[in-house]
């Protein structure tokens, strides 16, 4: 049974997701690189923009820290910290402002009780466990004279990853929407600069779409390969 993991016609299901993932990754890097060379007229850095948006939302207790790397920006709800990468923290570029505002958008979501981010954060520990156990359980089920119950359990566990990716989509889209709306209404970027920030965030959003598609197609492939194989 193991050859099904190495060669089978269902691999073609993954091809669109693979292509989209490669394209999305290249797109976000090239778009950010382009707009990291376009500087805002007001001289704001990524950290300045983040602090200003946090303060206008009353989030004075949320810290801003610098983290190494490029596009490693994230909000950590456990530590109540917005971490901005080297390419964002002290940069005055339009790309950096957009990314910083997006990460602050997550902090605002958390503070206002935005439902999708509450759900996503609450299921993270469960999803991590499911990720670790799903494939070993499926493999074990195949090896043990094709134990369909074990295989089904593994597939169900893997579906948690798909659920997580689907919940992530509205969280990310909403954070970008909040970011762009704030940058516009608070006149933190000029109109032409706002277009650059919008392109950066749209490119970043496609990486999450690609991840969701990849997870869904992987689940579909597992179901076609192993779901109900020995049932009459």
Residues 129-169 pLDDT 10s = 999 999 999 999 988 877 889 999 999 999 999 999 999 99
Q: How far is it between the farthest Cα atoms of the chain?
A: 69
CA dist 127 and 141 (Å) reads 20
Rg of the chain over Cα atoms, rounded to whole angstroms, equals 21
pLDDT at 7 over 60: no
What are phi and psi for residue 36, nearest 5 degrees? -80, -10
Q: Indicate which residues carry an active-site annotation.
A: 103
Q: How many CA atoms lie within 13 A of 125 on its CB side?
A: 3
pLDDT for 11-61, tens place per residue?
A: 888 899 999 999 999 999 999 999 999 999 999 999 999 999 999 999 999
pLDDT at 129: 96
pLDDT for 170-216, tens place per residue?
A: 999 999 999 999 999 999 999 999 999 999 999 999 999 999 999 99
pLDDT at 225: 86
pLDDT at 144: 81
Q: How many residues are recorded in the chain?
A: 232
pLDDT at 232: 45
CA dist 204 and 201 (Å) reads 5
Beta strands 74-76; 81-85: pairing state: antiparallel
pLDDT at 69: 87
**Residue 20 corresponds to which tokens in the numbers above?**
């989209």
pLDDT at 3 over 60: no
**Residue 169 corresponds to which tokens in the numbers above?**
């989509």
**Residue 19 corresponds to which tokens in the numbers above?**
């292509």
Q: Would the CA dihedral through 161, 130, 76, 23 be positive or negative? A: negative
pLDDT at 103: 97
């Amino acid at each position: 049974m193991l050859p099904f993991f190495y060669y089978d016609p269902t691999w073609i299901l993954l091809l669109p997701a693979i292509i989209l993932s490669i394209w999305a990754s290249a797109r976000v890097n090239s778009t950010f690189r382009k707009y990291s060379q376009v500087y805002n007229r007001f001289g704001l850095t990524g950290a300045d923009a983040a602090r200003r948006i946090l303060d206008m939302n009353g989030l004075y207790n949320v810290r801003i820290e610098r983290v190494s790397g490029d596009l490693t920006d994230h909000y950590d709800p456990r530590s109540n910290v917005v971490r901005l990468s080297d390419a964002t923290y002290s940069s005055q570029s339009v790309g950096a402002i957009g990314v910083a505002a997006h990460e602050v958008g997550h902090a605002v979501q958390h503070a206002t009780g935005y439902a999708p981010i509450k759900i996503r954060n609450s299921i993270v520990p469960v999803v991590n466990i499911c990720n670790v156990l799903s494939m070993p359980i499926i493999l074990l089920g195949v090896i043990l004279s094709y134990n369909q119950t074990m295989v089904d359990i593994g597939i169900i566990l893997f579906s948690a990853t798909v659920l997580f990716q689907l919940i992530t989509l509205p969280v990310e889209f909403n954070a970008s929407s909040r970011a762009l709306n704030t940058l516009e209404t608070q006149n933190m970027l000029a109109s032409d600069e706002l277009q650059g920030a919008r392109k950066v965030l749209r490119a970043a959003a496609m990486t999450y779409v690609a991840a969701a598609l990849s997870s869904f197609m992987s689940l579909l492939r597992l179901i076609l390969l192993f779901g109900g194989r020995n049932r009459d």
